[in-house]
Amino acid sequence: MCGIAGVYGISDRSRFPEACGAVGRMVEAISHRGPDAHGVWMDDDEVVLGHRRLSIIDRREASNQPFIDSATGDVMVFNGEIYNYRELRPQLSGEYAFQTDSDTEVALAAMQVWGRAALPEFNGMFSFAYWNQARRELTLVRDRMGIKPLYYAHIDNMVLFSSEVRSLLASDWLERKHDPAGLADYLRYQTVHSPRTILAGVSMLPAGHWMRLEGEETEIGRWWDPAAAAKPQNRSREDELKRIREVLSRSVELRLRSDVPLGAFLSGGIDSSVIVGLMKQATEHRTATFSVIFNEGKFDESYYSRMIAERFDTDHHEIRLTPDNFLQAVPDALDAMDHPSGDGPNSYVISEATKSAGITVALSGLGGDELFAGYPVFQRTKLLWDQRWLGSWPKGLRKLIGGVYAAYKNDIAAYKKAAALAGDYFDLLHTYPLSRQAFLEPDIRRLAPHLAVYPNAVYNQLLEELGAKSHGEKLPMLGQVSVAELGTYMQNTLLRDADQMSMAHALEVRVPFLDHGVVAAVLSVSDENKWPHTPKQLLTDAFPDLLPREVIDRPKMGFTLPWELWMRNSLKPMCEEGLEALSEINVFAAAEISSIWDAFVQGSRRWPFSRVWSLVVLGHWFKKNRIT
């Protein structure tokens, strides 16, 4: 795990010193991602590449980056891991003379020998830049699931790229202005969906895509599609369970490859408990596990995490989170937030504690809910589909019923149901974007009256992924919901947050559930086999003897903090500071922001903490980065 940065297309040689200085600043801005080594390589005519290294595999100096093949002059800067590098190396050794044991050199050799055909051979999480000296061509690549970020910007016929937005800002070549369409997306979903970002002129390379830069040519292509990789077949449930068991066990085994200490996040829920159990089966070493515990009983999961830690004999660490110590951490958590997000700080404290315990790599249960139908959105979608006959009712009647219901309940869930009833379609393409929205369109119009109306990014993405003639159209319904979850909420919120919060502490987080083999296998399972009676049953039935029944049957909590309580008390001044900063951005209505805050403080069900917190975060982020 590392950080990369660079600039391509320096056709004006007089700007070369300026470009070198810009990349130097970009690399320094992401020093937290790689405290072990750093370097900058430059070609006299076109390109400058920079790197910060967090040493995980082959920690010798010879594996530092930028990594240069002395025989060809090819260069690579790489962030992430190729887990199956040991298996790929013998296939390349006849055509490439290896000098190190690093996975980065395997990636360079594969790109050199196989070209972009190498990408499907990689099992890992990564973003990298590969410079082909002979062809004078730069290729940027992002992994299948978007676990590792890669941002870029076009400036004066040049392309800047980096692992973080803050790095691009450090170049001093960007205007510090928000992107209106990105802002509209953030207000809807508490994040911005790739390829857009919150910054004007800055894009994110989508997951499973590559970008080729040669001369003045720019080409972007997709090299992996989860729906296309899934191949639904008429398997028995026993065969499906065996398959899930095999691919997930293999995924965990691969992610234990490391030359540094390794541990796991453990909430005591099904997903993290399965990962810890499989780690126990795959290694003789005692696993270090880390859990957040609270004084507030209804948020505390320590009973279950201790049960799992004892069952698998882990070296268990508990991080007690109180309002006071979290308040002390919040400024640092917000500073670590490279791109605004409504979810981010949840993983900041546990990442800090894990790194402080001497752990450099941690496995996470991220992805289990999205694949195995663990979220309420799966049940809601199934229910809406079963109730699609409501579409035959007159629209005026549906709007009337929805309006009365929303007025009576006066909470965000009721307003979403009213909006769904008032719509023209009850299919996934229309109901899913609504189910994930934080602010509905009338809210946005009041909150940001000077912001233009922009198309719904999630709807447009689902139209491409699940619409007519797409690969996703042929998947089972629950598989389609998973594609929606993986491509939107997972990639653009959870994975981005996991990266920016863990890398703030130079901690590498690995996610076995998002192995491409696991994803393809689970997406192809029929609804009947995936959810015969209860959510997550496919996962728990695949490992019937791994977890105690008490953990399997426990109510779902997720990794949450007692935000509502804290925001009205200890965090109140900080929240008001963020909202005040947001009020100064000219597209927002200061009076509406004040009204929302007052309603939240008074306990309005219409304004749950998550909606208000997303505005607090946005205000702090704009202020910190001097964005207008």
Are residues 213 and 321 both part of a single domain?
Answer: no
- pLDDT confidence bin for 45, thresholds 50/70/90: confident
| Confidence band, pLDDT 50/70/90 cuts, at residue 557 | low
Residue-wise pLDDT for 105-128, tens only, equals 999 999 999 999 999 999 999 999
pTM of the full structure: 0.94
Q: Quick check: 296 pLDDT over 70?
A: no
Same domain as 283, residue 135? no
Residue 119: per-residue pLDDT: 98
Order across the sheet with 315-321: list the strands. Answer: 315-321, 288-294, 262-265, 361-363, 508-510
Mean pLDDT of 335-363: 88
Residue 96 to residues 128, 132, 461: CA-CA distances in angstroms? Answer: 20, 15, 40
Domain count, the chain: 3
Amino acid identity for residue 381 in this structure: T
Q: What is the mean pLDDT of residues 380-401?
A: 75
510, 615: one domain: no
Cα gap 351→332, rounded to integer Å = 12
Identity at 296, one-letter amino acid code:
E
- 464, part of any domain: no
Same-domain check for residues 105 and 185: yes
Buried b (16+ CB within 10 A) or exposed e, 308-330: bbebbebebbbbebebeebeebb
Mean pLDDT of 320-341: 86
Say what the pLDDT of residue 377 is: 85
561: pLDDT strictly greater than 70: no
Q: What angle do CA 563, 567, 571 make, to 5 degrees?
A: 115
Q: What is the pLDDT of residue 260?
A: 87
Q: Tell which of 195, 224, 253 closes a domain.
A: 224
pLDDT, the chain, mean: 90
Cα–Cα distance measured from residue 49 to residue 52, given in angstroms and rounded to the nearest whole number: 11
Asked whether residue 623 is domain-assigned, the answer is yes
**Cβ neighbours of residue 39 closer than 8 Å, sequence gap 6 or more:** 50, 51, 53, 64, 65, 66
Q: Is residue 13 domain-shared with residue 110, that is, in the same domain?
A: yes
286 contacts 526 by C-beta, under 8 angstroms: no
pLDDT of residue 299: 64
Q: Please check whether residues 172 and 319 belong to one and the same domain.
A: no
Is 270 a residue whose pLDDT tops 60? yes
Whole-number Å distance between alpha carbons of 365 and 380: 23
Asked if 76 and 125 sit in the same domain, the reply is yes
The DSSP call for residue 9 is -
> Alpha-carbon distance 302 to 454, whole Å?
44
Residue 529 lies in a domain: yes
Structure confidence by residue, pLDDT tens digits, 447-499 = 999 998 898 999 899 998 988 888 888 999 999 999 999 999 999 999 999 99
For residues 444 and 434, the model is more confident at: 444
Average pLDDT over residues 92-108: 94
Which residues contact residue 94 at a Cβ distance below 8 angstroms, ignoring those fewer than 6 apart? none
Chain mean position to CA 546: 28
Is the N-terminal amide bond of 195 cis, ω within 30° of 0? yes
| Residues present in the chain in total | 628
Q: What is the DSSP letter of 71?
A: T
Residue 335 lies in a domain: yes
One domain, residues 6 and 79: yes
What CATH number does the domain containing 305 carry? Answer: 3.40.50.620
Measured between alpha carbons, how far is 96 from 112 in angstroms, rounded to an integer?
9
140 in the same domain as 54: yes
Assess whether pLDDT exceeds 90 at residue 564: no
Instruction: Specify the range with the lowest mean pLDDT, choosing from 162-166, 317-321, 477-481.
Output: 317-321
474 inside domain: no
Please indicate, yes or no, if residue 620 is contained in any of the structural domains.
yes
User: Are 117 and 235 found together in one domain?
Assistant: no
Query: Domain boundary residue among 496, 528, 552?
Result: 552
Confidence of residue 380 (pLDDT cuts 50, 70, 90): confident
Coil, helix or strand for 440? coil
Q: What is the pLDDT of residues 411-426, one digit of tens each?
A: 777 777 777 776 777 7
**Domain end marker among 197, 224, 251:** 224
Lowest mean pLDDT across 451-460, 531-540, 555-564 = 555-564
- The angle that helices 428-436 and 477-485 make with each other, rounded to 10 degrees, is 40
CB-CB contact of 384 with 425 (8 Å): no
Query: Residue 122 is part of a domain; what is its CATH number?
Result: 3.60.20.10
80, containing H or E segment: strand 75-82
Taking residue 117's Cβ as centre, other Cβ atoms within 10 Å add up to 11
Range of the domain at 271: 228-372+484-552
pLDDT over 70 at 9, yes or no = yes
Domain membership flag for residue 424? no
> 386 to each of 375, 390, 426, how far by Cα in Å?
18, 9, 10
316: helix, coil or strand? strand
For residue 428, tell me if it sits in a domain.
Answer: no
Q: Are residues 275 and 134 in the same domain?
A: no
- pLDDT band with cut points at 50, 70 and 90 for residue 533: confident
- Cα–Cα dist 348/332, whole Å: 9
pLDDT at position 350 is 87
- Residue 160: which pLDDT band, with cuts at 50, 70 and 90? very high
- What b/e string do you get for 592-614 counting C-beta neighbours within 10 Å, with b at 16 or more? bbeebbeebeeeeebbbbebbbb
Question: Which pLDDT tens digit goes with each residue over 131-144?
Answer: 999 999 999 999 99
What value does the mean pLDDT take over residues 230-244?
A: 91
323 and 218 co-located in one domain: no
